[in-house]
Chains A and B, each alone.
Chain A
């Protein structure tokens, strides 16, 4: 059952990914990307990362992509501007680079995986305590510093968005 689900979702993710990069209309590109993100959220649930799956849906597919769509609509980009898109002489090398990159990654992935140190958070343990609780516990104890620095990051982003995009300061 899980195997079928994985293959179906993975196929959809790859197809929408391909559509994303070849679609002329940026609005459709954004919608395909949302589709890919939803697929990845499903995979997160298969991987028993429920909290991350929820955040993926809410923040990524929800907030960030809506921001993209909003900007595309705001700038009123039409397909006419896309005519100059994808210069032919750049397309072939790019795809070749992509295939080469993928081939290298796949050859390497055939190597013996998972020699890394196994952690203590087994599936049984996570299910027993709860994914969100564990993650929150880690965030507020061991990884408190990066969590707090993230506030600086978001603050900078807010300043930046206002500084750059506001019509009149």
Chain B
């Protein structure tokens, strides 16, 4: 029998992996992919909650999250392309015009 705890633990693992990835990677595109992994983990928890709570709102939320993720991906990759055009790099350690 799979309980909701199974799903939530899996979701927590994936979310944590995403957070670690964002913190250790230096390639902007890979960081962005790790953020997508975090969003996927959250979506999984939404759907699991929706299933076990007999509610639809979780699935609805996932629908909107995916739309937002698509919009974010378009804008984020456009920003990366614009930056690459001026600097020829996507490594965030090279982003040093301004002091952090």
Q: Which residues of A contact B (CB under 8 A)?
A: 2-3, 6, 10, 13-14, 17-18, 20-21, 26, 29-30, 33, 36-37, 40, 43-44, 46-49, 51-52, 55-56, 59-60, 63-64, 67-68, 71-72, 74-75, 77, 81-82, 84-87, 90-91, 93-95, 97-99, 101-102, 105-106, 109-110, 113-114, 116-123, 131, 134-135, 138-139, 143, 146, 150, 153-154, 156-158, 160-165, 167
Contact = CB atoms under 8 A, between A and B. Distances in A.
A58 B56 CA distance: 21
Given A3-B1, A75-B90, A94-B23, A156 B60 contact: no
B43 to A, nearest CB: 7
Interface size class of B (residues with CB under 8 A): 35 or more
A72 B29 contact: yes
Given A14-B17, A87-B26, A109-B8, A153 B68 contact: yes
B66 interface: yes
A160 B75 contact: yes
Given A6-B2, A20-B37, A77-B27, A52 B74 contact: no
Nearest to A19: B17
Contacts, number: 232
Nearest to B4: A113
A13 B82 CA distance: 32
Nearest to A37: B40
A150 B30 CA distance: 26
Contact of A63 (B70, B81, B91): B70
Listed residue (A6, A37, A56, A64) with the most chain B CB atoms within 10 angstroms of its CB: A64
Interface string B60-100: 10111011111111110111111011000111010000000
Listed residue (A86, A91, A122, A161) with the most chain B CB atoms within 10 angstroms of its CB: A161
Contact of A106 (B4, B9, B56, B72): B9
A135 B81 contact: no
